[in-house]
Amino acid sequence: MLIAQLSDLHVMAPGRLFRGGIDTAARLKLAIDDLLAQRRQPDAILLTGDLVDRGSAEEYAALKTLLAPLAAPLLPIPGNHDARDTMRAAFAECALFADDQFLHFAADLGPVRIIGLDSLEPGRVEGRLCAERLAWLDARLAEAPERPTMIALHHPPCPTGIPHMETINLLEPEGFAAIVRRHPQIRRIVAGHVHRPIESRFAGVPCGIAPATAPQLMLDLRAESQSNNRAEPPGYVFHLYRDGDFIAHTVACGDFGQPV
């Protein structure tokens, strides 16, 4: 079982540029072309939020066109730049989301279960999981205790060491942590939001943050660091499930020449 994770795509309406200067659609196309050239293709494509930049139907239409060459099933969750209603409509054919107000899902793929969470709080940059969403998660975990499980959400619940990002991560994660500790089948938690590849831990479980296909956050670990993006290469993660656990490979995309 191989799951590709693309995060923070920030696709914009045709002709518009991210923060006035960078073509996020071109960067996503570069990542998708790289993925399609992989000799082993993924069994599913996990999209961990900020799929588009403003949440408009026009942006989701542009996103769907860019994603069309991917053959594997799409597993999208929202980030703070997404809008629930337009995103639900854009991915209606996936028949994926639970029948409630949130864009969360539980998908069984071969031996594993992927649970996608909706940490979006409309109008806010930071994320939260309310009591209703936590109860839904607890029920999905309780119904498949033997299935090795990956949980995906946009906002990282784990420390990142980047102070200005930690103020806008998943806030008040204690309830989520208590659920994670109760369900030992959770093998890995994956997130986005930071626009950098980071490995950390949450409630005893490995927690990985994927790079963006949009511009990356410049690495600055000082207490006074500020949010600056730059056009480091777009990236994605391949999560390989083998022998009861997930192995994460982060890929940088670009033209790096022939193998030597």
Select 116 or 148, whichever has its Cβ closest to Fe ion. Answer: 116
245 by DSSP, 3-state: which? strand
Strand 186-191 relative to strand 205-209: parallel, antiparallel, unpaired? parallel
Residue pair 155/81 in contact by the 8 Å Cβ criterion: no
Least CB distance to Fe ion at residue 3 (A): 20
Q: Which is nearer to Fe ion, 140 or 195 (CB)?
A: 195
- Report the interface residues with Fe ion, using CB under 5 A: 8, 50
Our CB check for Fe ion shows the closer of 8 and 59 to be: 8
Which residue, 34 or 50, is less far from Fe ion as judged by CB? 50
**Smallest gap, in angstroms, from Cβ of residue 10 to Fe ion?**
6
Give the amino acid at 57.
A
In whole angstroms, how close is the CB of 151 to Fe ion at the nearest point?
19
The burial of 46, by beta-carbon neighbours within 10 Å (0-12 exposed, 13-18 middle, 19 or more buried), is given as: buried
∠ CA 231-36-12, rounded to 5°: 45
Q: How far is the CB of 226 from Fe ion (least distance, A)?
A: 16
Mapping DSSP to helix (H, G, I), strand (E, B) and coil, where does residue 231 land? Answer: coil
Least distance to Fe ion from the beta carbon of 248, Å? 19
Q: Which is nearer to Fe ion, 185 or 229 (CB)?
A: 229
The amino acid occupying position 44 is: A
- Say how far apart CA 200 and CA 119 lie, in whole Å: 19
